[in-house]
Amino acid sequence: MSDPGGGARHEFASRFSELLVSCDLTYDRISARVSGRRPEDMRWSVNAKSISDWKQGHNLPRSWEPFRWVLRILVEDIRVRIPAARQDGLLLDESRWRLLWERARSERGSAKGIPAAASEGGEGGRPGPLTLGVRQSLQPDLSAEQNSLTAYLHRPHDRILWESISLVRDGGKSVFCLLYGDSATGKSRALYEALQGVVPDWPVHFPIDTGDLLRLVDEGRITEGCVLWLDETQKYLQNESDPRASAELIRLLQSVRGFVVLGTIWQHPYLADLTARGRSPDVNAVARDLLGDAYTVRIHVPDSLSGAQQEELAALAAVHEGDPRLTAALAGGADHGDVIQHLTGGPELVRRFSEGGFFRPVELALLTAALDAKRLGHFQPLSEGLLREAADGYLEPRHRSGEHGWATGPLRALTTGERSDGSRTDVHGAVPALVAVRERSGQVTPRYQPDDYLDQQIRRARRRLGAPARMWNALLNHAHDPDDLERAATAAHEQGLHRISVLLRRKAVGAGSGVSAIRLMQAFGEYEASGRADCAVWLADRVALTNLHLLVQLGEQFSEAGARGALNTLHRRLADVLPVDPLASVLQWIDAMGRAGSDEGMETLLNRAVDEHAIDEPSALARLLRALRRAGAPAHIDALMGRNLVENIDIRDAAGVDSLLEELAHRPETGQLDKLLSRRPETVVRIDELGAVQRLVTRLQGLQAGHAATALIQRTLRDGPWADPEPVGALLSRLPDAARHEAAVELAHRTDDQRVRLMLLRMAMSDAPTGTSFVVRHTAAGYGLLDAAGWIGGEPPPPAPRTHGSESRRDLQAPDAFSREKTAGPRRPDREHDLAAERAARTVRALVLTDPAVVARTLDALRDAGLHDQMVLLLARDPARHARLKEPDRVAALLSALSATGDEAQTRELAKRITMGLPVDRPRLTRRFITQIRQAGFQELATLLGQRAAATVDLAVPGVVAATLEALRAAGLDDQMAFLLDRDPARHTDLHDSKGISALAMALESSPGQLDLLCGRAAGAAPTDDAEPVSRMLGLFLDLEDRTALLRFLSRVQPARIRLGNPYTLGRLLDALLRADASAAFETVRDRLLADPPLDNVHALRHLLDVLHRADSDSAVRELGARAARRVRVQDVGAVDLLLEALCRVEAEEGVSLLANRLVEWARLAETTERARVLAMLRRASLHEAVDAVVDHSISAGEFQMALAFANAEFRARYKFGREPDGSPSAPWGWDSPDAPE
């Protein structure tokens, strides 16, 4: 379905016309069928004119869904009328139609893409693609029109994105679609295409920053049927001091239906940073919750095109008259697939920056300063002043200008792409290196941001480089955003610029960063403990009181530092401004201030809570009263009571009224308790939550308000939801006798639930039990039988349950039910005991006896419940004779249960069956049953079982013989053991089972003749062609100290012909030969090992090295260690760590040196985390020179703080106070250093 010679729109119309001709339906009939079959919740419709316009090419379907329904109607008609052999399969293929429609839409009615006007502004005031952050395409020919987007290639991530937005459009819940990946991979363009294709008529909100976003939220403008566009999403979420944007987005997504949030973000570092865990303080917790929420769909955008995708894009370029932009991008990105990046000119810009010569010195310095400022954490647009001061550090003296406004012209050239002399600074007129940003129209002096793609690529290339001192001074002088300052401080800290880090954080605290306050306290715990208290005092007066969660952590830091005065100051400031709503926060701070001894702050907060909090719920008043009582503030309680809140508070919440009554009862003299009771809460509280009602009833009765409790119970039983018998019974039990009788009878006639009705009628009887917990469980379980005499007057007893019915069978398979009844509630009346006994009897009569485990559990349950008669009834059914013996564990359980009943006949019967019928080829089970039968008192049967085992065990299997001997010995069956030994197992056993031979030899130690015979046979005939039996036999003879057998066996061993097997067996063989003093054989096997060592198995290598080391084979240790050190993959840090430890242990110095050198070289190329693991490994091995080498490299790579943790004592002492940007050690400084700002 492709026609490269014509446009996709023309092809779409032509093929659709062909499809219409093939069917026999008019436009009106097609429209009617679609209307009759489409889902009711779909908002679109299709009429005859739409179909006609599609056919004639006047326009395209605006969305896929309406056309898909039309297509299905047409295809169904064609399949019915036209024979399959004559059908055009391509014409009927829905997936091909979808591809053709997408291609046709990408043309947007123009041979070269979207018209210029559409790039700059959207329809109806909607922002255009460039405004929304879509990158302008590279234009190889500057004379050609360049204000249009290229044709769009749909990729797999587009399908996920379109489907997610379509669900919202069609009435689904709101969604946050976040595209993540590298820069310039087409994320913003993908969002724009989805916006135009799925919701072209929805208004788009495009906030420029977090404040603008929060204003949209506060004004209520995020509503159903709108789009919130958050390109570069990190700008809105990376607000460490104030996570409100993330919290508001979570709230909106959960509460407002039918709107879409669209966002883009780099995977590294932004998304990784926002989703990281384990940091302190956890400043991105709310953003992480948003990004992991069920409403968020994270969609990865690949950074390269596959070969097939490149071919498809080439076809699109051909359709669009050979669009030179697509052609150039395909040529540039053919090798690595980075076509999209070349389309926007990103790689070319990076090349020009990196190779030099394109930008003039001042331009290059300004651009480098902008890139480094972002790399160091300054995410806000950069001011000219910051760039001017920082760029001086990148300029050689000969390039520095004496003019006042020397940076203005170069900045203009970098942002406009054109110098004053007409030469260019951009890439083909489309990609400027710097972007000018103005917060409002008419702003004369803009701020600046480097190109995104250039930023990401150069950030990676320069990630290990420091920055000149003037950059840090520029950040100190010109950065004002608290999060920017904190990020820059973190970067300074990691590079060892501790003094600068403190200065940046002090400024950040002044700008409102609570995170910086906490990290200052943490830092002074590391830098200078004596300055921590001074730091706390300074912070207490200046820290912003906006993020209460961070203030809690800061208070904990003050406490750890012993800065009690600072903590009191913080609490005093907070008490003056803390909002009294929500109450929970106020109560938390009252408690914290009380524990900290901040009396002044707590007094202020108590006064404000009492005077200002708008209390309209009983639970809130109760919580406040409880807090005041625990704080020991009776005067405040009196003041709160003086507000007469009880008279006006809403008392419909049963749980809240219960809590409030509890608190008021502590101060009855205030009269507020009586006031609350006089409002008769029992008549107005909600009764939909029976648990709360029950607790309130209990409270009222405890306060001697019985009439109120009775009224509440009667109201609840009359009007409440009481399908569950348990709370109904509990409420009834609290009524006086007469009221309970009357209420139970009335309710019994109103309910159709047989369980509840039975309970109510029983409770209405004069001899009904006072407690109902047993009755409720009894009836709910379905076995509450009425006795034949008719306990409930006038009610016929229900029919007895059928013992083979499904319900009855389910009940009878729970033999522990009557066991549980024994401990339920108070002592049961006789009638209740009879009911339990009857149920137990039914269980016994219906029990299937073939499963010994079920019978065992039933017997144990009957015994525990004291139902002796029913237990006798079950034993009378002869379970011992009927039980299956196939599952020994179940049989053992039954034998134990029968023995516990004291029924000797049944126990003997089962023991006899076990003795005569149980297979004895499993010695452990034989031993278990012999023990059980002996404990039951049937010694003769135990002996008989032992005799069977001794007489029938297969002598050819040495392991089974050994285990049988051990079982007989443990049971004290000496005669049977002697009988087995008389069968001469040593002579008949199979010698090929080396493991079994070893076990049998241990079992024969008390029988010297048999043991000597076995060892003699094994020495002369055991296999010697494999390392496993050889090592095992050698170990056996050595353990038995049988020198004769050892020498005889060694004389048969040919070490050059032994199959060495796996390396672990090889290690055991070498160890055994070493113990046997078989030096010649040892050397032969060792040489074979060295010829083909298991270098890929570190664990085996460790064992072999240990064996060789014990053998004093120094040359072998050196050779094997060196070869292992050369072969091991240094990227596998875990394996390297194990090998290095083993090499050090066996003193393989050459191997240690080789491996250390390889680690040092690899560490220079590895990431920071891997480098830290290498340092830890080298330090454990005491390889100090290697550690110093990696430390030096880490310092040069800007990882000073990490390296400092592994450096030697001399280095740590030298850099105790950190270092300066030029690398020199910092002079001693402290909190009161002259360099610290006031």
Low-confidence ranges of the chain (pLDDT < 70): 1-7, 39-43, 84-90, 106-126, 138-148, 240-242, 320-322, 429, 440-442, 527-530, 720-726, 737-738, 748-836, 1233-1238
This prediction has a pTM of: 0.64
| Both tokens assigned to 1191 | 């430390």
Type of residue found at 1144: C
Q: Taking each helix axis as running N to C, give the angle between helix 888-901 and helix 923-935, from 0 to 180 degrees, rounded to the nearest 10.
A: 10
pLDDT of residue 724: 62
Residue in 618, 545, 638, 629 with CA at minimum distance from that of residue 587: 629
Burial call 547-562: b when 16+ CB within 10 Å, e when fewer: beebbebbbebbbebe
The pLDDT of residue 442: 65
How confident is the model at residue 726, as a pLDDT? 66
Domain ranges of the chain: 1-107, 345-479, 633-721, 776-1006, 1009-1183
Structure confidence by residue, pLDDT tens digits, 513-563: 999 999 999 888 776 656 788 899 999 999 998 888 888 889 989 988 889
Q: Residue 460 corresponds to which tokens in the numbers above? A: 């990676």
Per residue, what are the HEC states of 611-643?
Answer: HHCCCCCHHHHHHHHHHHHHCCCHHHHHHHHCC
Compute CA distances 310 → 185, 302, 305, 322, whole Å.
14, 13, 6, 14
Using CA atoms, how far residue 713 sits from 136, 695, 734, in Å, is 74, 11, 8
pLDDT for 772 equals 39
Classify residue 668 as exposed, middle or buried by CB count within 10 Å of its CB (0-12, 13-18, 19+): exposed
670: burial class by Cβ within 10 Å (0-12, 13-18, 19+)?
middle
Residue pair 472/1200 in contact (Cβ under 8 Å)? The answer is no
Structure tokens at 1092: 């083909």
What is the b/e burial string over 381-413, where b = at least 16 CB atoms within 10 angstroms of the residue's CB? bbbbebbbbbbbbbbeeeeeeeeeeebeebbbb
For residue 492, the model assigns a pLDDT of: 93
Distant-in-sequence, close-in-space partners of 535: CB < 8 Å, separation ≥ 6? 520, 521, 524, 1231
> What was the pLDDT predicted at 917?
81
- The tokens of 1140 are what? 């290095």
Predicted local confidence at residue 549, as pLDDT: 84
Q: Please choose, from the candidates 849, 842, 974, the residue with its C-alpha nearest in 3D space to the C-alpha of residue 909.
A: 849
pLDDT at 316: 80
Question: Which amino acid, residue 383?
Answer: S
What is the overall mean pLDDT for the chain? 82
pLDDT value, residue 1157: 92
3-class DSSP assignment, residue 76? helix
Determine contact, residues 304/337, Cβ cutoff 8 Å: yes
The pLDDT value recorded for residue 441 is: 64
Q: What is the pLDDT of residue 439?
A: 74
pLDDT, residue 719, reads: 79
* Residue 1204: alpha-carbon gap to chain centroid: 33
